[in-house]
């Protein structure tokens, strides 16, 4: 059974950094494309970052490019999102998600989702 | 970037009624790359439909998707109590992939 478990969210000041983790089970992360999708309070869904399959190319939305980095540790079967220079508008629940099929550049429809982790950027 | 506009914003219906949700794209979307999700309060989204009309695993057949080009529709044939939720469409054919703003289906 595929399971995704996010952690690492919390309260951080503007300009600060945070690293989110997504522990995967039921499949081998190293060969799978994955993404992070966020949802601001009371708002809709926004794709944030994606990483390809075994090639490992990474992709980011313009809103986070240069500030966020997606990566994975194959030995731990864990996906990460390093978030730097955080802004108030980055406040959201962050979900890791596994696509049903992968169409390059981070694109895919998401069959499996974690429960989400809340990031709050505020002074 | 392809903008997806969902309508209506809120749909007030009674259990047993038919729900029709619309998703309009600012540019043509290949029907291969259009999905629908259901999200209940405090939960992660759940994939309902992919490829515009294919039901995901375990999704009841009262959910159906249709459409092509710039106009897509999600239909719930007879609303069950557990279907009252927010629904999002997503296009994943063009970068960046984008989501609609959602339609809330509420109990009338």
CB B84 within 8 A of CB B105: yes
Average pLDDT, chain A: 95
CB of B44 less than 8 A from some CB of A: yes
CB A34 within 8 A of CB A94: no
Question: Which of A107, A108, A115, A118 has the most B C-beta neighbours within 10 Å, making it the best mutation to test the interface with B?
Answer: A107
Segment B71-79 mean pLDDT: 97
Task: Please report where in the chains the tokens 């595929």 appear, as a residue.
Answer: A2
Restricting to B residues 15-34, those with a Cβ less than 8 Å away from any Cβ of A are 33
Query: Given this model, what pLDDT does residue A55 score?
Result: 66
Q: What is the pLDDT of residues A81-106, one digit of tens each?
A: 999 999 999 999 999 999 998 888 88
Query: Given this model, what pLDDT does residue B57 score?
Result: 95
Number of residues that make up chain B: 108
Say which of A46, A107, A113 has its CB closest to residue B44: A113
Q: Mind telling me how many Å the CA of B29 is from chain A's nearest CA?
A: 13
Q: Which residues contact B22 (CB under 8 A, 6 or more apart)?
A: B6, B7, B8, B71, B72, B73, B103
Using an 8 Å CB-CB cutoff, list chain A residues near B97: 47, 106-108
Q: Which of A21, A3, A2, A23 minimizes the C-alpha distance to A119?
A: A21
Say which of A44, A105, A115 has its CB closest to residue B88: A44
Query: Given this model, what pLDDT does residue A42 score?
Result: 95
Say which of B50, B101, B102 has its CB closest to residue A109: B50
CB B94 within 8 A of CB B27: yes
Using an 8 Å CB-CB cutoff, list chain B residues near A64: none
Query: Given this model, what pLDDT does residue B29 score?
Result: 93
* More confident: B30 or A87: A87
């Amino acid at each position: 059974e595929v399971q995704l478990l996010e952690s690492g969210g919390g309260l951080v000041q503007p300009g600060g950094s945070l690293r989110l983790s997504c522990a995967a089970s039921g499949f081998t992360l190293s060969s799978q494309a994955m993404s992070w999708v966020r949802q601001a309070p009371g708002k809709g869904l926004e794709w944030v970052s994606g990483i390809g399959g075994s090639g490992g190319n990474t992709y980011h939305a313009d809103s986070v490019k240069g500030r966020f980095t997606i990566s994975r540790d194959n030995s731990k079967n864990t996906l990460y999102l390093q978030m730097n220079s955080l802004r108030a508008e980055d406040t959201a629940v962050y979900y890791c998600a596994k696509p049903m099929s992968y169409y390059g550049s981070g694109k895919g429809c998401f069959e499996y989702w974690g429960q989400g982790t809340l990031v709050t950027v505020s002074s | 970037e392809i903008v997806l506009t969902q309508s209506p914003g809120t749909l007030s219906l009674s259990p047993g009624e038919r729900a029709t949700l619309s998703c309009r794209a600012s540019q043509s979307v290949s029907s291969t790359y259009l999905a629908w999700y259901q999200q209940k309060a405090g939960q992660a989204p759940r994939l309902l439909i992919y490829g515009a009309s294919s039901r995901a695993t375990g999704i009841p057949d009262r959910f159906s998707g249709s459409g092509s080009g710039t106009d897509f529709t999600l239909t719930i044939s007879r609303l069950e109590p557990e279907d009252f939720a927010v629904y999002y469409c997503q296009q994943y054919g063009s970068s960046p992939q984008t989501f609609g703003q959602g339609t809330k289906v509420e109990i009338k």
